[in-house]
Structure 1
Amino acid sequence: MASTSLVRTRVQQVALVVVGLVLAGVMIGLGLWQMQVFQDQGQSGAVARMNEPAVPLAEVARAGQQITDGYGRTVEFSGTYVPAEELLIPVDGKPGTFRVLTPLRTSDGTLVPVVRGETTGATAPAAPTGTVDQHGVLLASDKEGTGALPTGQIGSVYLPVLVQRWQDPMIAGYVTLPADLAAAQGLAAATPQLPSGRGSVQNFGYALQWWVFAACALGFAIYLATYIGRAADRRRLADLGLITQDEKGPDPDRMS
């Protein structure tokens, strides 16, 4: 009888933990889904911002001034490219492919770092000559690149390094040209690293809520399994006369 009761108790404990794990797994999955919705909404918002009508670059970015509401927007500007200062940036995961970074000097002498596109090989098509009208998405500085590179190459569009290298006044960002302008210059399009948008706070809250529920479900299942085990232990001790019947507590068999 004691052996049967012990087996029944262990089965109850395992069943409770399994149910708790299943419920927690479902709730974690729902939380991950809500988080994906949150991220997708943010990405969609970033793309929508980029596709809004272009604004003059001077309205959102000037040399020596912090950019407060310009990153991720499409801007338009004009000036003359400075091919002597052009740099190539190796593209991660694409050996032999480089982003082509060429500064453009506007009429007031400000330099605008422009990623004109991507090229295969260490020689890029020449930048347009004379004054040109350009547009593209305005982006914040990349992270600093690492590793030694040949002359004429740089690890990333890391603005603090570019300011020291080019010397002239420069905006606190860089512009990546769209596919049509890149193609017109004999280059493949460079994918802009859009700033992270923000999804619905409601979806983010739902994700956290499901994860809290998952923790509670698993914790409660473990608590019940532990309680049943302790109750069964007390009953066995009472049957052996090691504790009083009053100390035995509730019968775990009646908790199923």
Structure 2
Amino acid sequence: MYRFLLTPRWIGGFVLAVAAAAVMLLLGNWQHHRYDERNALNARVDAGATATPADITTVLGRPAAPGTAGPRPADDAAWSRVTMTGRYDAANEILVRSRTVNDAVGYEVVTPLVLADGTAVLVDRGWIPPAPGGATAVPAVPAVPAGQVTVVGRVHPSESRPGAIERRDGRIQVRRVAVDQLAGELPYPVYGGYVLMTEQTPAADPAFVPIPVEHENALQNGGYAIQWWLFAAMALAAYGWLAWREAHPRPAAATPAAR
């Protein structure tokens, strides 16, 4: 009854169905891997929210030479709480433009904090709106505190896809906080991750809006994984159904007798 499955047409259909199912299975496995990665990241975000801040020198690898960045944060260091004490270098302040917080476009202000040993950490002091005139109008940035400052914040990995670095009105302007790239513009060794400030002593200027630490949408990847696995099963089931239909054709409808 099923000898037709050995014909070239049906063998080709079987190979195509298996190949399609295999590709969909691999896509589902990849989405499940992303689901696990994002769940792990969300767990680190939650754990870092209440953890006791550690000295940054114990969390990130020390940078070696001026104008270079240190090692990038390890996976378990990202989003952890750290603390550091130093002096802000306002002369090398960085404006990160076209950043959105609470559905508004403005600037993030990243200022190097120079530690006692001469190394520096890029500290994201927060978000401020642009000056009147549009989303790209350069804002008036609150001055840094004089003297020593203690900062508590969350470790953020360096951002990818860096764009061009510009200098306007004495400040560096960029679209992405790419630490490796920015380190080349600075006269001291720079730690390989930057820090989203959550607390500061003396207190930060109230004009700054703290940068939120958001969770990744792991459920979306989980849904995609199930979707691809279902598609793989459907591809094989469709081949089986077509084969069954071929082996069990419907009886031809009877022709009505002529009167």
Q: TM-score, normalised by structure 2?
A: 0.63
| Structure 1 residues 193 and 172, CA gap change in structure 2 (3 angstroms) | farther
Given residue 188 of structure 1, which amino acid in structure 2 is its aligned partner? V
1:91 and 2:95 correspond? no
Q: Helix, strand or coil for the counterpart of 1:219?
A: helix
The answer (yes or no) to whether the contact 2:149–2:202 under 8 Å persists in 1 is no
Q: Helix, strand or coil for the counterpart of 1:134?
A: strand
1:53 and 2:52 correspond? yes
The answer (yes or no) to whether the contact 1:91–1:97 under 8 Å persists in 2 is yes
Once superposed, what is the RMSD of the aligned Cα atoms? Answer: 3.9
Q: Helix, strand or coil for the counterpart of 1:91?
A: strand
1:106 and 2:115 correspond? yes
For structure 2, list consecutive stretches of 5 or more residues without a partner in the other structure. 1-27, 65-69, 131-138, 253-259
In 1: Cα distance, 2:40 partner to 2:149 partner: 33
| Structure 1 residues 128 and 47, CA gap change in structure 2 (3 angstroms) | same
The answer (yes or no) to whether the contact 1:179–1:190 under 8 Å persists in 2 is no
Q: In the alignment, which of 113, 117, 129 is matched to residue 120 of structure 1?
A: 129
| Structure 1 residues 87 and 212, CA gap change in structure 2 (3 angstroms) | closer
Residue in structure 2 matched with residue 184 of structure 1 by the alignment: 204
Tell me how far 1:110 sits from its aligned partner.
Answer: 0.6
Q: Helix, strand or coil for the counterpart of 1:136?
A: strand
The answer (yes or no) to whether the contact 1:77–1:135 under 8 Å persists in 2 is yes
User: Which structure has the highest helix share of the two?
Assistant: 1
Given residue 177 of structure 1, which amino acid in structure 2 is its aligned partner? M
Task: Give matches, 1:120-199, under 5 Å.
Answer: 120-121=129-130, 122-146=139-163, 151=168, 152=171, 153-178=173-198, 184-186=204-206, 187-192=208-213
In 2: Cα distance, 1:100 partner to 1:229 partner: 68
Q: Helix, strand or coil for the counterpart of 1:79?
A: strand
The answer (yes or no) to whether the contact 1:159–1:172 under 8 Å persists in 2 is yes
Moved more, 72-81 or 90-99: 90-99
Tell me how far 1:138 sits from its aligned partner.
Answer: 0.9
Tell me how far 1:182 sits from its aligned partner.
Answer: 11
In 1: Cα distance, 2:58 partner to 2:165 partner: 37
In 2: Cα distance, 1:197 partner to 1:37 partner: 8
Residue in structure 2 matched with residue 240 of structure 1 by the alignment: none
In 2: Cα distance, 1:49 partner to 1:144 partner: 28
For structure 1, list consecutive stretches of 5 or more residues without a partner in the other structure. 1-30, 237-256
Tell me how far 1:214 sits from its aligned partner.
Answer: 4.7
Residue in structure 1 matched with residue 10 of structure 2 by the alignment: none
User: Which structure has the highest strand share of the two?
Assistant: 2
The answer (yes or no) to whether the contact 1:89–1:155 under 8 Å persists in 2 is yes
Given residue 186 of structure 2, which amino acid in structure 1 is its aligned partner? W
Tell me how far 1:216 sits from its aligned partner.
Answer: 2.0
Given residue 169 of structure 1, which amino acid in structure 2 is its aligned partner? P
CA displacement 1:88-122 (0-9 Å, x = unmatched): 10134567510001000000011110000011122
CA displacement 1:29-75 (0-9 Å, x = unmatched): xx9xx969857744540322322211111111222352434222010
The answer (yes or no) to whether the contact 1:183–1:189 under 8 Å persists in 2 is no
Moved more, 129-138 or 172-181: 172-181
Count of paired positions: 200
| Structure 1 residues 155 and 214, CA gap change in structure 2 (3 angstroms) | closer
Residue in structure 2 matched with residue 63 of structure 1 by the alignment: 63
| Structure 1 residues 164 and 38, CA gap change in structure 2 (3 angstroms) | closer
In 2: Cα distance, 1:103 partner to 1:54 partner: 19
In 2: Cα distance, 1:175 partner to 1:188 partner: 15
Given residue 90 of structure 1, which amino acid in structure 2 is its aligned partner? R
The answer (yes or no) to whether the contact 1:103–1:113 under 8 Å persists in 2 is yes
